[in-house]
Amino acid sequence: MKLLFNHINITIGIAVVLVMPHSTKILAEEWSCTYQHKGKTKELIRRRVGSYTFVDSSEIEDKIIKENEKFIHLYSNIEGSKFYFATHLDKENKKFSMVGLEPGKDTSIISGSCLISK
């Protein structure tokens, strides 16, 4: 009986070790970026909250529409707004660009450098 419990504990332990690093890495990723807008330094923060979503500092969701080893493309829309916000996170160069699109009312493109924590 004791041998059976040891086998179960070892199996569970191995499963936890194999799963946890991957889950922690996904959930812990944060992009802290700075950019210049109208002569002032501003900050853009994006934190991964799952396999398909990031949130900003106001907990507004950005959905991942494409991701590979080089970049992440995000989509967001604030409820009640017609704007579509497109964000490009460049993994290789640790930079970002973002623009808000609404025909005739597009925002300025913002871009800057990022620190990425995992």
pLDDT, tens only, 47-86: 999 899 999 988 889 999 999 999 999 999 988 889 999 9
Residue 26, pLDDT > 50, answer no
The single residue listed with the structure tokens 């913002």 is: 110
Which pLDDT score, from 0 to 100, does residue 12 have? 47
Which H helix or E strand runs over 10? helix 2-28
For CA atoms 92, 74, 49, 69, give the dihedral sign.
negative
Domain ranges of the chain: 28-117
Which pLDDT score, from 0 to 100, does residue 118 have? 85
**C-alpha separations of 8 from 1, 17, 20, 69, 92 in Å:** 11, 14, 18, 36, 42
Report the range of poorest mean pLDDT among 22-26, 77-81, 82-86, 102-106: 22-26
Alpha-helix runs per DSSP H in 1-118: 2-28
Which pLDDT score, from 0 to 100, does residue 5 have? 46
pTM for the full predicted model: 0.74
Which H helix or E strand runs over 18? helix 2-28
